[in-house]
Chain A
Amino acid sequence: MTNWIDIAALVDIPVQGARLIRARTGCVALFRTHDDRVFALDDRCPHKGGPLSEGIVAGHTVACPLHAWVFDLNTGRAQGADAGTVATYPARIENGRVLVGSAIINRRPAPVPAG
């Protein structure tokens, strides 16, 4: 069973934008999409560590700000020709609050980026 942590109000995250959660072993990016869904992913691009929370969010994707790899927020998988996956965590909205699975506290360090 997922234990949920209340992080913030939904309105604290800009629509089509993201905010950061700082966890012990690195940061988690909390995205809010145009249709008011929320997604939690490691804030670290598997390419060269770019902060995904700073990318442009479109549909349910985010484009990494450093070299524009595009990731599916649902699966964390890179789209198109690029290969790589970002860890995802459960996140949901309840009464205007954003809840994230407590897994983010115990998450293991993100793998060392390749290349």
Chain B
Amino acid sequence: MEKLVVIGAGMASGRMLEHLTEAGAPYQITLFNAEPRGNYNRIMLSPVLSGEKTYEEIVTHDDAWYAKRGITTRFGEHVVGIDRARKVVVGQRGEVAYDRLVIATGSAPFMIPVAGRDLPGVVAYRDLDDTNTMIAAARPGAEAVVIGGGLLGLEAAAGLQMRGMKVTVIHLMGHLMERQLDASAGHLLQKTLEARGITVHCKGATKAILGEKRAEAVLLEDGTVYGADLVVMAVGIRPETRLANDAGIEVERGITVDDRMLTSDPAIFALGECVEHRGQLFGLVAPLYDQAKVLAATLMGADAAFQPVQTATKLKVTGCDLFSAGDFAEGPGREDIVFRDPGRGLYKRLVLEGDRLVGAVMYGDTADGNWFFGLIKDRTDISEMRETLIFGPAFQGGATVDPMAAVAALPPDAEICGCNGVCKGRIMEAVAGGADTLDKIRATTKASNSCGTCTGLVQQVMALTLGEAPAEAPAGMCGCTDLSHEDVRRLIKSRGLKSMPAVMQECGWTTPDGCAKCRPALNYYLLSDWPLDYRDDRQARFVNERNHANIQKDGSYSVVPRMWGGVTTPAELRAIADAAEKYDVPMVKVTGGQRIDLLGVRKEDLPAIWADLNAAGMVSGHAYSKGLRTVKTCVGKEFCRFGTQDSTGLGVRLEKLMWGSWTPHKVKLGVSGCPRNCAEATCKDIGVVCVDSGFQISVAGAAGMEVRETELLATVATEDEAVELIAAFTQAYRENARYLDRAYKWVAKVGLDWVKAQVVDDLENRRALSDRFDLSQSVYRKDPWAEHAKPGARDEFAPLADMQLEAAE
């Protein structure tokens, strides 16, 4: 009989041995395993960890199984070498000769190379021993940190949490399980885990594991420290190829195999996570079982070829219902169908390519997952059921379903608006009672008045009842949503939405990650409404705000340092002159905003020129921002013979108060010392004209594409009052205006009287607005230049790689 040696008693080789022995293949088999046990169902380690199953329940092959099939087992013994010339396998306890050899060594967990990773208390999550170490460490109340928010990490986190530990998950990427889920599903998953008491820290890079004799805490790059009695590293795996490498068998990332699972050596085969097949690696069992079938056939001399199939992922954490299959990246000719039900926390996304379904991600309700997976695998033509595809198999009646007919068929007590519990009959009654526009329906029934995702359905019910489409369709803020800017702002506040994926999910966005129109707007709304919670998203910002400089038509930038109230000093001028020379600035220009512009600076020089200007005491002038720009002043009573108040001083004070603030559009101020108005204060967003008795504050002016004179808001007696009123007006504008509406547009929409009621007449409200402005400024009144000029932060401004000297091939 031929001698078959198998290295590794894992899930892949286990299945292969089942096929081989069932068919009675004439081999004398020796099975090595480094673990001191035979094959068990590795994927069920998570239920063992959580206590839902015992190890005994997940054993697939016990001693009797091997004995009955005459398989010689050498468990707990590492294979340390393969001598291909002599055709022997070298185990720790001696050699075994082979005629054919199967390498099935699986993969090894990847340990990130940080200080402290070798401390006791730091474990990977791969086998039963790891699981037992974790179970032993899981004293109720003890702290665990899981590094890695992928499938394995989350299963570990949930298991440890079920054993009473206080668990934190550190994840490098922006959302959990980013390889299987998009941001929306990731957001829902994070919400579920957090609701169970698991802390989730995304965008967290581990810097070190701290501790003297054993792990005590985990330190992140951003300075956060989490206490940890146990650290689980679950950041990824790499194929276990060491034996093959040493033996000189062809290895790329994994051991290279052909369709028959044959390696570069005609007597050696490989299967499982240790292989690479046509450039592809494997991390889930389904394709490995196919490999097992193919290899068993090959070993029995039959013709078989391995073809990787699509895989689907589920997370084995009770209560986290998610499903992901196929390829859900966008691409040319690909379209998304997105369905969200914020009320029930549902999210489904289908990715279509032509008439085929190529990918599916769902969260909350995965009952139809396998049906979709079937459509993907079978490449079913879905054009007939496209309209109703996302609702699953229950809605596929054969004939094409007309959405209107579907609505018509609903009984009167069918719920249309989930948020407000409004049924179809109620809407029909309201229409019959004269509510013929969406606004009237919202006012009378409250339907579509909350999250707005039922708006389409409400309109269909109205159209059915009216016999025609209702008068107006609401203008969505962009192609990603039917909700208006105002609706979205309202929902962000009323629902406490504090991240972009949260807004997109809870407001039913129809795209996975928004577009270039809505992302900057959402970023502004979030930072304006939640100054303490929300972190600005640079990638959602237009180039000028991302790079804190104005891009020029040739790709260079202009640099405008702040010159408070237009006042400068010889030292500042000297520093500006030095910088202009040092960085070869092609043009130095006095702006229309009373300061100096250095035009034509190279992007990679920006951090350095900023550092030089910072060193001379200057900060960013935000000449690029939807935020406070300049406060123009005139000389005022200190010098001017007509001046009534210290207009320069007030201008400087206002600029020092308001700089760095973000607003829906840019905000410019002017302060003139007398009605001669040399600072042109009456064509600014906010203008102050000083008079003998005090300060005339007027708002809503502009002198750009439209020229507008300001309108008087109020006259106040003291500088302090003037400052508070201006801060309150600015905050009211920040909280209520839609993104990209300049103050004059916003005031025209809400009416000057409304504004006066908010900030002039209601003193308490004025104070509250001004306090909220201060709170926000406690976060945002800082110099972005100084931050980006810090040595570590400069890299982003430099190219990632320079290939100019790379030899042409």
Question: When the two chains form their complex, are residues B515 and A58 in contact, meaning their CB atoms are under 8 A apart?
Answer: yes
Is B553 a contact partner of A105 (Cβ separation < 8 A)? no
Q: Determine which residue in B330, B512, B802 has the highest number of CB atoms from chain A within 10 A of its CB, and name it.
A: B330
* Chain A positions within 8 Å of B551 at CB level: 51, 54, 65-66
Chain B residue with the shortest CB-CB distance to A106: B808
Whether B800 lies near A30 (C-beta < 8 A) is yes
- Chain A residues, CB < 8 A from B415: none
* B:156-196 near A, CB below 8 Å: 172-174, 178-179, 182-183
Tell me if A7 is interfacial: C-beta within 8 Å of chain B: yes
Chain B's nearest CB lies how many Å from the CB of A93? 10
Contact B800 A105 (CB under 8 A): no
On whether A60 and B331 interact (CB within 8 A), knowing A3-B809, A11-B205, the answer reads yes
How many residues of chain B are within 8 Å of chain A by beta carbon?
48
Distance of A19 Cα from B331 Cα, bound (Å): 21
A59 touches B808 (CB 8 A): no
Given A34-B182, A36-B179, are A56 and B800 also a contact pair (CB < 8 Å)? no
Q: Which residue of B lies closest to A24 (CB)?
A: B804
- Inter-chain contact A59/B330, CB cutoff 8 Å: yes
Q: Is the CB of B799 within 8 A of A27?
A: yes
A70 to B479: give the CA distance in the assembly, Å. Answer: 14
Chain B, interface SS category: loop
Cβ of A8 < 8 Å from any Cβ of B? yes
State whether A20 touches B519 (Cβ < 8 A).
no
Query: Does B744 have its Cβ within 8 Å of any Cβ on chain A?
Result: no
Pick the residue among B236, B547, B799 that contacts A21 (CB under 8 A).
B799
Query: Is A85 an interface residue, CB under 8 A from the partner?
Result: no
Size of A's binding interface in residues, CB under 8 A: 52
- Residue among B182, B331, B332, B801 with max Cβ neighbours from chain A (10 Å): B801
Whether A19 pairs with B808 at a CB distance below 8 angstroms is no
Within 8 A of B (CB), among A10-47: 11-17, 19-24, 27, 30, 33-37
Closest residue of A by beta carbon distance from B181:
A35
Q: A16-B539, A56-B542 are contacts. A22–B330 as well, Cβ < 8 Å? A: no
- Known contacts A16-B539, A22-B804, A60-B329, then 7 further A-B pairs from the complex at CB < 8 Å, ordered by chain A residue: A19-B799, A22-B803, A24-B803, A56-B520, A66-B551, A74-B332, A96-B236
Closest CB pairs A-B (n = 10)? A19-B800, A63-B516, A65-B543, A16-B539, A56-B516, A34-B513, A54-B543, A60-B330, A20-B799, A22-B799
For this complex, 25 residue pairs linking A to B, each with C-beta atoms less than 8 Å apart, are A11-B172, A11-B205, A12-B800, A14-B796, A15-B173, A16-B513, A17-B538, A23-B806, A24-B808, A33-B329, A33-B330, A35-B512, A36-B173, A54-B543, A56-B540, A58-B514, A58-B519, A61-B516, A72-B332, A74-B331, A74-B332, A94-B253, A104-B803, A105-B803, A106-B808
A residues engaging B (CB < 8 A)? 3, 5, 7-8, 11-17, 19-24, 27, 30, 33-37, 48-51, 54-61, 63, 65-66, 68, 70, 72, 74-75, 77, 94-96, 102, 104-106
